Each structure stands twice: as C-alpha cells, then as structure tokens.
Amino acid sequence: MLQVSNIAENKDAYIQALKKRKFDAKEVFDKVLSLDEKRKSTQAKLDETLSSSNKLSKEIGLLFKNGEHQKANLLKEKTGKLKEDSKILSEELNAAVEELQKLLYTIPNIPHDSVPEGTSDADNEEVFREGEVPELAEGSLPHWELAKKYDIIDFELGNKITGAGFPVYKGKGARLQRALITWFLDKATEAGYTEFQVPLMVNEASGFGTGQLPDKEGQMYHVTNDDLYLIPTAEVPITNMFRDNLMLEKDFPVKCTGYTPCFRREAGSYGAHVRGLNRLHQFDKVEIVRLERAEKSYEALDEMLEHVKNLLRELKLPYRILRLCGGDLTFTSALTYDFEVFSTAQDRWLEISSVSNFETYQANRLKLRYKDTEGNKQLAHTLNGSALALPRVLAGILENYQTGNGIKVPEVLVPYCGFDTID
C-alpha cells in the first residue's frame, strides 16, 4: 500500500509511473489527498473539542470544590454539548480513515524504473537464458502421457476424489516429488534461510497484509464459516509472521524458507495450455522470503535470482529469465523476474518461479517497521521467490529427461529419492 505522504510528494511522478500498468492514477490520487485533508481537519477539530472539554471538566471540579454549584452546573451543560460534538467528530474521523484505507487498497505498487512498457506477457523482456535444449527422439511424449505410461501421476483419480487440478502422485512419482521438496529446502537452508512450517490457512488480516485481498479474493479458496483463506503460497503466512513488528536495523537481513501445498482457484483457466501439471488448483512449492533495509533490497533480489539459477543449473534444465512488463506485473510488486523452463515435448516455455521485490508496499500494509541507527522508524522492504514451484519443474524433468528406456532422474536428486530411473 502506498503512503499518503509519498503520494503527496511524488504525485506527478507516480501518475506517470503507473501508466506502465495502464492505471490512470490522477483521479484516485486527487481523491486520496482530499480525503487525507478531511481526515486531518476532522482530527484537528476533534482534538480541539476534546481539549476544551477536558479544560472545562477541570474548571467544573474546582467550582464544585469551592461551593460554586450554580456556575458548575452551567458549565456542565457546555461539556455535554462538547461530548456530543466529539462523538460526531469521532464518527466522521473513523469514516474518513476507513474510506481512505479502502481507496489506498485499490492502488497498485509503483513499478521500478527498469520495468518495461507493455500490456501483456508478450511484452515481457528476456534478460537471461541458459542451458541446452535436449533433442528428443521421435515419438517423445508430453508429461501427462509419461505420467500415465509409467503410472506415477494419476489425474483421473484426483478428479474422482476432488476434481480437475488435484492430481494424485504415486510410487516413484510421489518419491520424486518428496525428493524435490527436500532438496529445495536443503539448498535454501544452506544459503542461510531459516526453515519454517506455517499454517495452510490465514485470516483476513493476513490476506490484506501481503496484498492478496482485496485484489485476488476471487482466486483464493475461502472457508466461509471460519472466514479463513487457503494460502496461495507460503509467502502469505511467512511474511505475516512479521506483521505489526518493530524491528532493529541489526536484525536484517531476515531470510525465511518454507514448504507448503498451495491452493489457487485459477478461475477462467481452460484449454490445452493447462493440461497435466501445467496449471493446478493444489500444488507444492518451496518459497524463500526476505526482509531487508531499503538500500539492500535490490542487492538481495539479485542474490535470490542467483539462488534460483543455481537450482536450475544443478537440475540441468534449460531456462530463461524474463523481466515482467508493467501490464503483466502483479498488483503488489515493484519489480518481478519470472523463470521459465523449456518443455521440450510441449515445445513451449513454462513458468516455474517468480522472484519479486515489493519495496515498502507490503510493509506499509503490515505495519512492518524497524528503527534505524538514529532511532527513526522506517518501513522495511519485503521480497519473495519460488525456489521452486514443483509441478512445472517436475513436468520439465519428465519431458526433458525421457529416453527410450524410461526417464532418467537428475543426478542431484538420486540420493534423495533412492533411484536413478523411472521405468
């Protein structure tokens, strides 16, 4: 969430920057600043009214003490009116604050200067590519056919139990899935991230804290009786662990990792591009989350990119990195890089990770601050990344490692799963 003071100081620059998102901010900024002026003037009137009421109360006490009951009772009538005025002003203040807050929730983050212009994923900018795309033999299969052939993932059984988008992993498929999770977590902890196991449901405050609410409410599974939401990523509970915290500068950097199942309704997703593991309603993911000081956050983002690069290098999967354009940038992000792995059998790139810097946008919602060395309170910067999301990584492994005699297992995973071939 943007700070009102920053909007006031940088109004024209922010309006121009948000054009990258195709977001016309002028009218909403004018309304924000008008509401803030109303809030401040109402607060001033309320403070003045309360001060007058307190002053009169002290005078009344002295009058009663001195036996001047008639004068005291006359002043009591005035205090009654002041109390009524203060009640009305308090209600007006609360209404202005609530309206201002709701309006601020509708404004996306300011994109970083490096974010390219564009309206869709077609305009994203490729900034890096690495790895050799293997040449597969004629008759090579996409992963959903391989899963059926080797009986390692059952999409129909998942559909029977729950519905489309909830696969059942079996035998070596389940073991390979578990191996990936453990290896990703081990690599994160080796890189200095502290592992957490977190709840799979969050309350409304957590959804607002990291920006899933109100922006993505329709994409989250909602447990209505308890007003809880199934998490779309471990980012939500991990980042919210620090909600309402006042930290010290020496506490940084904060580096967290966690494995969770993730739940996304993916409403409106249909067609061949969502077959198999390409898009699921439930999937596994290892997340990395960082809290940083402003001057260190983009250095941290580069470190996170290198971490994901190294995972894909060790898995020996061909991949590329895209810098997302303004039109494809998520609501809360200032800068996002997507990693895509090449699916040889499908002849297409599949997104397997997003690494983002939210700058102070989430921290302002979370009220996540720290004291600098001079004792001033500053908003922290928050970052997160998939390291990695499993479904499309697994799809890439199955398709790119297939041979005429089965599917080879990447060398780094063999000690974790206990076999080197799926046949």
In angstroms, the CA 190 to CA 254 distance is 15
Closest CA to 391 of 344, 320, 323, 343: 343
Q: Please measure the distance between the N-terminal and C-terminal CA atoms of the chain and give it in whole angstroms.
A: 51
Of 74, 75, 70, nearest in space to 56 by CA: 75
Residue 270: per-residue pLDDT = 53
Q: For the segment 173-219, what is each residue's pLDDT rounded down to a tens digit?
A: 999 999 999 999 999 999 999 999 999 999 999 999 999 999 888 89
Provide the Cα torsion 33, 5, 215, 299; round to 10°. 160
Give the per-residue pLDDT at 272: 53
Inform me whether the pLDDT recorded for 70 exceeds 80. Answer: no
Beta strands in 160-307 (DSSP E): 168-169, 194-195, 201-203, 222-223, 228-230, 246-248, 254-263, 282-292
Domain with CATH 3.30.930.10 in the chain: 121-422
What pLDDT digit, counting tens, does each position of 282-303 carry? 999 999 999 999 999 999 999 9
pTM: 0.93
Q: What is the DSSP string of 388-405?
A: EEHHHHHHHHHHHTEETT
For residues 77 and 130, which has the higher predicted lDDT (pLDDT)? 130
- By DSSP bridging, strand 381-389 and strand 377-379 are unpaired
pLDDT at 364: 98
Q: Whole-number mean pLDDT of the chain?
A: 94
For position 267, what pLDDT does the model report? 60
For position 55, what pLDDT does the model report?
A: 85
How far, CA to CA in Å, does 414 sit from each of 28, 182, 312? 55, 12, 16
Q: What secondary structure does DSSP assign to 15-68, as a single string? A: HHHHGGGT---HHHHHHHHHHHHHHHHHHHHHHHHHHHHHHHHHHHHHHHHTT-
- Give the pLDDT confidence score for residue 273 in this predicted structure: 64
Is the per-residue pLDDT at 268 higher than 70?
A: no
Closest CA to 227 of 236, 217, 237, 238: 217
Tokens matching residue 9: 């100081």
pLDDT at 212: 95
> What's the rounded Cα separation, in Å, for the pair 72 and 374?
49
Instruction: Kindly report, as residue ranges, where domains of CATH 1.10.287 are found in the chain.
Output: 4-105
Mean pLDDT within 2-28: 97
Which residue type occupies 147? A
283 φ, ψ to 5°? -155, 165
Side-chain half-sphere exposure of 213, counting CA atoms within 13 A: 19
pLDDT at res. 251: 95
Q: Tell me: the pLDDT tens digits for 370-402? A: 999 899 999 999 999 999 999 999 999 999 999
Phi, psi of 142 (to 5 degrees): -70, 165
The CATH T-level fold of domain 121-422 is BirA Bifunctional Protein; domain 2 (3.30.930)
Residue 124, pLDDT above cutoff 90: yes
CATH number of 4-105: 1.10.287
The separation between CA 97 and the C-alpha centre of its own chain, rounded to angstroms, equals 25
Binding site, annotated residues for ATP: 264-266, 351-354
- At 271, the pLDDT band (50, 70, 90 cuts) reads low
How high is the pLDDT of residue 245?
Answer: 97
- Which residues are documented as binding site for L-serine? 233, 264, 287, 384
pLDDT reported for residue 385: 98
| Tokens representing residue 170 in the block | 């079996």
Distance CA 304, CA 385 (A): 7
The helix, strand and coil proportions of the chain, stated in percent and rounded to the nearest 5, come to 50, 20, 30
Average pLDDT over every residue of 38-54: 93
Amino acid identity, residue 263? F
pLDDT at 64: 74
Q: Average pLDDT in the 104-122 region?
A: 97
**pLDDT of res. 54:** 83
What tokens appear for 403 in the block? 């041979």
How far, in Å, CA of 191 to CA of 177, rounded? 21
Q: For residue 352, is pLDDT > 70?
A: yes
For the annotated binding site, the residues are: 233, 264-266, 287, 351-354, 384
